[in-house]
Structure 1
Amino acid sequence: MGYGFNDDHLEQYLCPDLKLTKPTVIMTKELSDNALKAIAHSRGTQVIALSAVSGSDPRTRISTSDGEEIIVDEELWHLDGFNKGVI
């Protein structure tokens, strides 16, 4: 938790693993361009991104590295919502 996709130092270490070896869950209010690129380049490794549908719509958009996308009525992108809805 707390990783930023716009932090060059951290991306240098996370993105190679994200693309190649480690299943990953990304939780964020808004997916950055760097996060979208990392997801797009991680085919073969399961990546699930949980983000708000929009700035005014707090429901969750679930996007996967397989190109699937669904919208659910819970705020799973937020840590409290994730804990209540998933854990």
Structure 2
Amino acid sequence: MMRVNIKANANCLTLRIEGELTKAWVEEVRLCWVAATALKLRRIRVDLTDVSYIDAEGRRLLASMHGQGVEIIAAGVFNNAIVEEIVN
């Protein structure tokens, strides 16, 4: 199961993902990201604080998003290691 909560202010839109970011849910997150980019905000942020698992498809999506300037926030050893791998 996965949920995306969207929070926006004048400068930033945050996609807060909860649950598992797996192949079954990647397309839903991608569509939220595409919709967010259409708003032309200065920053888009993905918050993975409440994500319990990220598979290879989820990693690829996050890498693509990061490559387009999206800031990724994580918590926990597993998610921080994935984000570190993506951003470096």
TM-score class normalised by the smaller sequence? 0.3 to 0.5
Structure with the largest fraction of helix: 2
Return the TM-score normalized by structure 2.
0.43
* Relative contact order, higher structure (CA 8 A, sep 6+): 2
Return the TM-score normalized by structure 1.
0.43
Structure with the largest fraction of strand: 2
